[in-house]
Structure 1
């Protein structure tokens, strides 16, 4: 059996043990904060995309719009409702409109005169904010949480959403 002097020599002081546990708590707090930031980014992306995406996927008032005039960010045109054959003046994002003279399948956002493109291109474009949020969250996951494979998967998913929206809108 070791002597009492040998036992106290191998023992860590109370301050050192307290310091080690405080450092562990700081590491845990940092990981929790980074996970919370990544979660907030993804939730914000879903929140931003949700209204437009639900309209693009399941909008009640559907029809076609013929683009007449384009401004800086928006184009205006005539909306022809599928059911009532009623004509209205509506606005659509210039990026999805394709330019003057184009005819697009759209759905009207409830309570507005703004229309959202439907079909695969419109649905993917509606989820672009989520794709951007996934890209940002992947940086937080890689840098703050040191989870490189998860970050890579998250970033690839975000890039696929954004890339597929661009590709579908280009054709």
Structure 2
């Protein structure tokens, strides 16, 4: 058994505490990134995924800007028709298209319904997964976990792009 000096043992313990602090700190940063991605996504996703009791229908696009379109809302069921509803949509949609939407309660803001709307609502989580992959791979030195997070984020972002 090799006998080490007292100063070397203290230095080894201090280095162990530095490594522990790095893992705990970067783990907390990763958890914060992912939690903020879920929080930002849920603000929109709850309206698209939990549609019971919400106004659903179709918006016929009358005017489109850079990031949103407006048009009249034709309801499905017991909802009321509205002359102008704003929907946040990518540039790909053209005037005259019919888009299924769910209205946010108490507003004239529509959110795209269906699979495309769900993926578009969870887009902030996809970005958070990609960012967390960099922290996990580079800071925590966990490459397999990082590649898994990156693949999940890329699949979510790519799916949202393809469905919209």
Question: Quick check: TM above 0.5?
Answer: yes
SS of match in other structure, 1:136: helix
Shift of 1:72: 2.5
Residue 125 of structure 2, aligned match among 124, 130, 144? 130
Residue 148 of structure 1, aligned match among 98, 121, 143? 143
**Two-structure CA RMSD over aligned residues (Å):** 1.6
**Separation in 2, partners of 1:62, 1:17:** 67
The TM-score with structure 2 as length reference comes to: 0.92
1:1-171 correspondence runs (5 A): 10-59=2-51, 60-82=54-76, 83-95=78-90, 98-169=93-164
Task: Identify, as 1 or 2, the structure richer in helix.
Answer: 1
- Unaligned stretches of 5+ in structure 2? none
SS of match in other structure, 2:145: helix
Measured against aligned partners, the alpha-carbon deviations of 1:3-55 in whole angstroms (never above 9, x if no partner) come to xxxx9xx4222221111100110011001111111111111110000021111
Runs of 4+ in 1 over 6 A off after TM superposition: none
Contact 1:96–1:122 under 8 Å retained in 2: no
**Separation in 1, partners of 2:156, 2:41:** 12
Measured against aligned partners, the alpha-carbon deviations of 1:100-138 in whole angstroms (never above 9, x if no partner) come to 111111001123221100101111111110011000000
Shift of 1:58: 2.0
Q: Which residue of 2 aligns with 1:4?
A: none
- Unaligned stretches of 5+ in structure 1? 1-6
The TM-score with structure 1 as length reference comes to: 0.88
SS of match in other structure, 1:111: coil
**Separation in 2, partners of 1:14, 1:84:** 77
- In 2 relative to 1, CA 167–129 (structure 1 residues): closer, same or farther, beyond 3 Å? same
